[in-house]
Structure 1
């Protein structure tokens, strides 16, 4: 049984495909269209279906859209417009009373159009696909009984629990907003979730963080991780202000008092203007109070459920500093976070939930131990494109050893291998890699990627060596937690040590990603350090690269030193005339199909 999962609300539009309980493909729409977070420059575009990501998922299974048994959409519009409209073919959205919502002050001018688009999403799938993708869509006929709306936070919760390693767990989801809920608490057992409680709009920890993100001159629903990084430079000057905004009560409930940030904190910082200690202190205070609030909530949730395990999803679950505070508080023995905790992951959660319900399965059939679920290109496809584009390259005899040698020379490389990550963070298949030994490397990488200078870079470390370099480090394949750099190792890996002494680590073992693991082992043998810098293969404002064309364009337009792509290496300073192994053949042929995958209308 094939079940397609779709997210096309708010941001991070994505699709995934489940076959009989197993996840076989998942991807974000941005990787194909090149619009960051799936947002085209028009207000309603986020609600367009992720046709390119859907097409990719269908391609992996080699099926047509009509071969799908079910489609799960990670938002239920009828929770807003009213259940009485669910079975009607056409409705007039009653926004003068707003259905079941008594207090609708938080609604905005786009919500009627937003909900109309979602209610008509099945028609979009059947009739609205782009012409150049018609191979897998033409003649589409998804019937009403095949189409399932899944509550947004239920989709988040299922993405966290239904592919976790736990048979039972407490489940917490925290984000900006769903239909009504902004925070939910569930207990998971088998494949089922029981709702314990929820916090509704307009009270939202996620939206509070977004609002401060805007006040600090960043893009909301995009740059919250920058605020998290900025927080390490500040102090607690505004902790009292944020504590006054958030009122906690029993059973995980909280309210947030609307505040005029300009009155409290002064004028909003303009983009590209200088950061001051004032901005650092706002970020630090916000981050600290968020952590305090989540610690109180998780303490209650553990007592309520009695579980030793916690699963987390929602955009706030990408806050690795807060995650580490929850881990270190030890209310729960084990914590698992969904790597695609943003709205992209709701496509996965919706599909897993509907798959389990339709097959009436309560047995766990899938554990998510990696996120390599996107497109891949083999050596033949890569080489064909490099020849077509007249790129000088050479084939490597030993990818790990030769790449490690380049890294040992303090060079920056693009690393492009196997299947793309389904995740906002590169995890070793679409990465920029560098040695962590030179303390100037963090600044060099921020310059290469045109990032703010306060931004840290993250390390990847051999799983078996992690605890020797980072305090109490353990299995952490998804970069969801920070750890302190060990004092006796700090001078050996200064580039990955943030100003507060921490690092957001990724561990890797041979089973998860053999090429990546072998590279780390080779670097360890040469240098004596089992750590590399791993940052995402993209530049400012661009999504992580997907196709060979994306990788090569990004490489040649940025000051990288080398690109390792499949079995090949491209070096900018290579002496073409003196190296007979470098391929420079001029050929005349059509652009290969693999190069055109990401081309849009």
Structure 2
């Protein structure tokens, strides 16, 4: 049985495909369209279906859209417009009742169009596909009984629990918003989830974090991770303010005071203004109170469920500092966080939820132990493209050995190997890699990627060596927790240590990604350091590269030293791009 999962709501449009409960492909639409987070200007926003990602999933399975048994869409619009309209023709639904019939929080003038897009999504799948993708879609006939709307937070919860290694767990999802819910609590058993509580709009930890992200001059629903990074430079000067904004209640409840941030904290920072201690302190205080709040919520959830395991998803679950606070508090014995915790992961959760229901399965069919579910390319395809576009390259017999030598020479490498990652983290398939030994490597990488100076870079470490370099480090393949760098190792890997002495680590073993693992082993043998800097293979404002074309274009338009793509290495002649040549050509400032 094939089950297609779709997210086309808010942002991070994505698709995945299950076969008899097993994931066989998953990808975000941005990787194909090059529109980061899939966020187009309204009205052409992410309510547009992820046709390219769906096409990729169908190609991997070698099937046509009509071979799909069920489609799971990770949002249920009837929770907003009323159950009385479920099953009726969409033409009979009075969209002029928005704000009266539905929730008063939905008052954007585009809301009726968005809801209309959701309600007509099945028909869009049948006849709205782009012409160049018609091979997999032409003649599409997904019937009403094959189409399933899944509550957004159920999709989040299923993405966390139904592919975790735990058969019994408490499940917490925290994001900006679903249809009504912003935070939900479930108990998971087998393949089932039982809701035991929720917090509804307008009270949302995720939306508060988004609001502060905007206030600090970043892009909301995009740059929240920058606020988390900024927080480590500040002090708790505004903790009292955020404790007044977030009011904790009983039984997992909280309220958010709807007060202008400008009235409380002063003028909003403009995008290109310098950061001041005031901005650092706001970010730090928000992060501190968010962590306090999540500790309170998870403590209540453990007492309520008496569970030993916790599974988490939702955009807030990508906050690796908060995740580490929950871990270190010892509230739960084990914590598993969905690596695609944002809305992209709801495509997977919706598919898992519907698949289990339709097959009447309560046994665990799939455990997500890696994130490499996206497009990949064989050497023959890569070489054919390089020959076509006349790129100078050389084929190597020992990729790990030769790449490790380049890294040991302090060169910055674009690393393109195997199937790409599903989710926001680059985990060694589409990564920029560098040595962590040089103290100036963080600044060099931020310059290469045109990133803010305060942004940290993260380490990947051999799983068997992790605890020797990071305090109490264990299996952590998805870069979702921070660990303290051991003091005796700090001077050996300064590039990956954040200002507070922590690092957001990824562990790697041979079964997860052999080429990546072999590279770490080779670098360890040369330098005595089993750690590399790993950051995403992209530049400012662009999604992670997907195709060989994407990788080569990014490489040649950025100051990398080499690109390792499949079994091939492309190196630049350093003399061509010397500082003197650039100055003579008139490039005296950082490229825009």
TM-score (norm 1): 0.95
Q: CA deviation at 1:504?
A: 0.2
Query: What does 1:21-420 correspond to in 2, within 5 Å?
Result: 21-90=21-90, 91-96=92-97, 98=99, 101=102, 104-420=104-420
TM-score (norm 2): 0.96
CA distance in 1, matches of 2:338, 2:101: 31
Deviates more, 1:366-375 or 1:44-53: 44-53
3-state SS of paired residue (1:166): coil
3-state SS of paired residue (2:350): helix
CA distance in 2, matches of 1:47, 1:293: 32
3-state SS of paired residue (2:156): helix
Q: Which whole-Å deviations, capped at 9, do the CAs of 1:253-305 have from their partners, x for residues lacking one? A: 11111011111111110001100000000000000000000000000000111
The answer to whether the 8 A contact 1:80-1:99 is kept is no
CA distance in 2, matches of 1:107, 1:179: 13
The answer to whether the 8 A contact 1:2-1:17 is kept is yes
CA distance in 2, matches of 1:255, 1:451: 35
2:589 aligned residue: none
Q: CA deviation at 1:40?
A: 2.2
Q: Which whole-Å deviations, capped at 9, do the CAs of 1:55-110 have from their partners, x for residues lacking one? A: 00000000000000000000000000011111111233355364664x61453222
CA distance in 2, matches of 1:352, 1:179: 20
3-state SS of paired residue (2:452): coil
Q: Which whole-Å deviations, capped at 9, do the CAs of 1:149-179 have from their partners, x for residues lacking one? A: 0000000000000000001000000000000
CA distance in 2, matches of 1:44, 1:178: 20
CA distance in 1, matches of 2:574, 2:496: 29
CA distance in 2, matches of 1:53, 1:144: 22
The answer to whether the 8 A contact 1:239-1:289 is kept is yes
1:547 aligned residue: 547
The answer to whether the 8 A contact 1:74-1:149 is kept is yes
1:425 aligned residue: 425
The answer to whether the 8 A contact 2:98-2:106 is kept is no
The answer to whether the 8 A contact 1:79-1:100 is kept is no
CA distance in 1, matches of 2:446, 2:256: 35
The answer to whether the 8 A contact 1:463-1:474 is kept is yes
CA distance in 1, matches of 2:227, 2:11: 19
Query: What does 1:499-518 correspond to in 2, within 5 Å?
Result: 499-518=499-518
3-state SS of paired residue (1:46): coil
CA distance in 2, matches of 1:42, 1:109: 10
The answer to whether the 8 A contact 2:85-2:93 is kept is no
Q: CA deviation at 1:250?
A: 1.1
Q: Which whole-Å deviations, capped at 9, do the CAs of 1:370-420 have from their partners, x for residues lacking one? A: 000001000000000000010000001100000000000000000000001
The answer to whether the 8 A contact 2:30-2:37 is kept is yes
Deviates more, 1:92-101 or 1:236-245: 92-101
3-state SS of paired residue (1:323): helix
CA distance in 1, matches of 2:414, 2:231: 29
The answer to whether the 8 A contact 2:295-2:326 is kept is yes
Q: Which whole-Å deviations, capped at 9, do the CAs of 1:112-131 have from their partners, x for residues lacking one? A: 11101000000100000000
The answer to whether the 8 A contact 2:168-2:188 is kept is yes
CA distance in 1, matches of 2:341, 2:96: 31
Q: Which whole-Å deviations, capped at 9, do the CAs of 1:216-267 have from their partners, x for residues lacking one? A: 0000000000000000000011100000011111110111110111111111
2:440 aligned residue: 440
CA distance in 2, matches of 1:52, 1:478: 25
The answer to whether the 8 A contact 1:16-1:23 is kept is yes
The answer to whether the 8 A contact 2:99-2:105 is kept is no
The answer to whether the 8 A contact 2:98-2:107 is kept is no
Unaligned regions of 5+ residues in structure 1, if any? 577-601
CA distance in 2, matches of 1:559, 1:166: 44
Q: CA deviation at 1:42?
A: 3.7
CA distance in 1, matches of 2:511, 2:31: 26
CA distance in 2, matches of 1:97, 1:2: 36
The answer to whether the 8 A contact 1:6-1:16 is kept is yes
Q: CA deviation at 1:41?
A: 3.4
Q: Which whole-Å deviations, capped at 9, do the CAs of 1:322-359 have from their partners, x for residues lacking one? A: 00000001110000000000000000000000000000
CA distance in 2, matches of 1:83, 1:135: 37
3-state SS of paired residue (1:233): coil
3-state SS of paired residue (1:341): coil
How large is the Cα RMSD of the aligned pairs? 1.2
The answer to whether the 8 A contact 2:17-2:351 is kept is yes
The answer to whether the 8 A contact 1:21-1:366 is kept is yes
CA distance in 1, matches of 2:256, 2:15: 33
CA distance in 2, matches of 1:573, 1:361: 58
The answer to whether the 8 A contact 2:459-2:506 is kept is yes
CA distance in 2, matches of 1:105, 1:449: 38
CA distance in 2, matches of 1:260, 1:422: 36
Q: Which whole-Å deviations, capped at 9, do the CAs of 1:9-66 have from their partners, x for residues lacking one? A: 0000000000001000000000000000012234432100000000000000000000
CA distance in 1, matches of 2:217, 2:265: 13
1:585 aligned residue: none
Is 1:526 aligned with 2:526?
yes
Q: How many corresponding residue pairs?
A: 575
The answer to whether the 8 A contact 2:105-2:201 is kept is no
The answer to whether the 8 A contact 1:44-1:114 is kept is no
Unaligned regions of 5+ residues in structure 2, if any? 577-592
Q: Which whole-Å deviations, capped at 9, do the CAs of 1:448-495 have from their partners, x for residues lacking one? A: 000000000000000000000001000000000000000000000000
